[in-house]
Amino acid sequence: MSETAPPQRILVVGAGYVGLTTAACFAHLGHDVICADIDRAKVASLSAGVVPIRETDLDRLVAEGIAQRRLRFVISAEAVAATCDFAFLCVPTPLRADGETELSYLMAALDSVASRLRPGSVLVTKSTVPVGTAPKIAAALGRTDVALASNPEFLREGSAVADFLAPDRIVIGADDLSAAHRVAALYAGMDAPVILSDPTSAETVKYAANAFLAAKVSFVNALAAVCEAVGADVDSVLEGVGSDHRIGSAYLQPGPGWGGSCLPKDTRALVSVANDAGYVFHLLEGVIAVNEQQLDRVVDKVARVVGIELAPPSDLGASAPEADVRCLDGVTVAVLGLTFKAGTDDLRGSPALRVADRLGVVGAQLVAYDPALGDDLDARPDISAQLPAALTVRSSAFEALRGADVAVVLTEWPEFATLDWARAAAEMAAARIVDARNLLDPVQLRAAGFTYEGLGRR
C-alpha cells in the first residue's frame, strides 16, 4: 500500500463499537469523517467528547478528531450523505430467536442514504452480514452510479483501536475492482496485506474466522476436561501444543466458554447459512455444543468444591437434570467478573453471566464484582436488566467475597491475579475457589488456605 493518500470525506452510519472505532480511526488517519446515529443522546454525548463505551484509546482518538475538526457526529445520515465520497454501514446485525440474522437495522440505514449518495461514491458494508447479503444490498440500493463493497471488521473489544490501526489483514470484496482499490486507499500507510475478493467471499471470511476461533476455544476447553480425566496438566500440555508454529498459542486458554457480541452470533449464523445451502456443518455444531457443555462444567465444579455432586448431563450441552434443581440453596457464591472478557464493560453474550444465571437456577445466592461495572446500577439500566435476579453487585472484590462459601473467577481481570488472597480467605465463610480462567497461581492460593479448583490443572 502507498504511504500516503489524499484525505477523503467518509460517512459512518452507526456509532456503536464498530462504527465509533471506524470513525475515530479514519479521522486519525487524516480523513474527514461524519458519524451518524439515530440516538440523539449518544450523538450529544459524543459531540462533547464523552465516549459511552470502555475501549482503550478510543476516547483519546475521539477527542483528537473533534479538536482537529476531522470528526463530527450528527443525527441524520440522510442530510450529509450527498457530501461524502464513502458511506460505511456499521449498524448492529443481531441474531433473531429463530437463528436468522436480523437485517432490518442494516436495511433501514441503507434506506436512509440510498437516494442521497453522491454519484461515483462507494457504499461499504462493514456490519457482519450473512453470506449472500451483497446482492440484497445492491437490489435495495437500486443505483448503478454508486459502487458497492464489503469490508468486514475484525475488531476485538478492548483492543479495537489497535486492531483497526494495526490489522492482520484488510479484506475488501467488490465486483468493481476500481472501487475495491479506492476503499483500500483509505487504509494507506498500514503495514498489512490487502485481500481483494468478490463480496460473497469477503462475507464468508468474517464468519469463517470467528468460527475457527470459537473452535480453538471449544477444543482447549474439551482438552482441559481430558487432562482432568487422565491426570495431565493442561498448562504443560498447551505449552507443548502452542509451541507448534502451525497451531500457535493464541486462543488456547481454558475458560468458562466463548461469548461476546460476535462469536455466538457468527457461529450460529454460519451453521444456518450452511444448512440453507444444503450442507450440515456437524463440526461447527459440535463446537457450539462443547461451549454449552463448558458452562455446565463450571457450575459442576462450583457444586463439587462445596461438597455437592451434580448428576452429569445426559447429552452434550444438556442442562442439569431436574433432581439437581435448588441443590445450592443456602450457598453464597462470590462471582468475580461479569463482562465477557477483561478490558471491556460489555455483557453481551458473556459466559460469566450465563454461568451466573445457571448457578442462580440451582439456588445459589450470587454476590458479584466486576471492575468495569461498579455497584451503582440504578444509573445503568442497560446493565442491570441483563443481570440474573439472584445476583447482587458490590463495589469491590473483598465486599463480594465477604461471607461467601465459594468464589468463582469468570473474567480474567488482572486485578484478581494480584488480589491479597490471604485477606480474602479471612473474609470468606470458607476458603474455596473455582478459577474458571486459570488466572491465579494454585500454589499461592493453596498456601493462603484455599481449596483451589482450576480447569485441567493438576
Structural domain boundaries in the chain? 9-197, 207-287, 311-453
Measure the CA–CA gap between 296 and 355, rounded to whole angstroms: 8
Q: In angstroms, rounded to a whole number, what is the distance separating the alpha carbons of residues 251 and 263?
A: 13
Q: Is the pLDDT of residue 2 over 90?
A: no
* Structure confidence by residue, pLDDT tens digits, 395-434: 999 999 999 999 999 999 999 999 999 999 999 999 999 9
Q: Which residues of 81-112 are buried (b: 16+ CB within 10 A; e: fewer)?
A: beebbbbbbbbbbebeeeeebebebbbebbeb
Q: Which residue has the cell 445451502?
A: 277
Contact between residue 347 and residue 338 where contact means Cβ atoms under 8 Å apart: yes
Confidence at residue 218, expressed as pLDDT on a 0 to 100 scale: 97
Report which of residues 127 and 388 the model is more confident about.
Answer: 127
Alpha-carbon span 261 to 155, nearest angstrom: 11
228 or 385: which leads in pLDDT: 228
Residue 262 to residue 348: CA distance in whole angstroms: 9
CA angle 8, 14, 20 (to 5 degrees): 70
- Single out the residue of 338, 340, 329, 325 nearest to residue 367, CA to CA: 338
- What is the pLDDT, as a whole number, of residue 154? 96
**What contacts 127, CB < 8 A, 6 or more positions away?**
14, 18, 89, 90, 91, 92, 93, 106
pLDDT of 318 over the 60 cut: no
Instruction: Read off the pLDDT band of 383 (50, 70, 90).
Output: confident
Q: Kindly indicate whether the domain formed by 9-197 is annotated with CATH number 3.30.870.10.
A: no
pLDDT band at residue 134, thresholds of 50, 70 and 90? very high
Q: What is the CATH number of domain 207-287?
A: 1.10.1040.10
- Residue 82 DSSP label: G
Catalytic residues: 262
Those residues with Cβ within 8 angstroms of residue 59's Cβ, 6 or more apart along the chain or in another chain: 49, 51
Measured CA distances, 446 to 414, 432, 440, 450, 452 (Å): 19, 10, 11, 5, 7
Q: C-alpha grid cell for residue 339?
A: 463482562
Contact criterion met (CB below 8 Å) for 453 and 297: no
Percent composition of the chain: helix, strand, coil (DSSP 3-state, to 5) = 40, 15, 45
Q: From 28, 110, 39, select the one nearest 71 (Cα to Cα).
A: 28
Mean pLDDT estimate for the chain: 93
- pLDDT above 60 (res 321): no
Confidence of residue 309 (pLDDT cuts 50, 70, 90): confident
Sheet holding 86-89, edge to edge: 71-74, 32-36, 9-13, 86-89, 122-125, 147-150, 170-173, 194-197
Query: 9-13 and 32-36: which strand pairing?
Result: parallel
For residue 236, give every residue at least 6 positions away whose Cβ sits within 8 Å of its Cβ, in sequence order, or none: none
> What pLDDT is attached to residue 326?
74
E strands in 246-382:
332-336, 365-369
Q: pLDDT grade, residue 317 (50/70/90)?
A: very low
User: In Å, how far from its chain's centre is CA 11?
Assistant: 25
CATH number of 311-453: 3.40.50.720
Do the first three CATH levels of 207-287 and 311-453 match, i.e. the same topology? no
Contact 258, 218 (CB under 8 A): yes
What number is the average pLDDT over the span 127-139? 95
Name every residue whose Cβ is closer than 8 Å to that of residue 250 and which is 6 or more positions away in sequence: 216
Q: Which residue has the cell 457526529?
A: 73
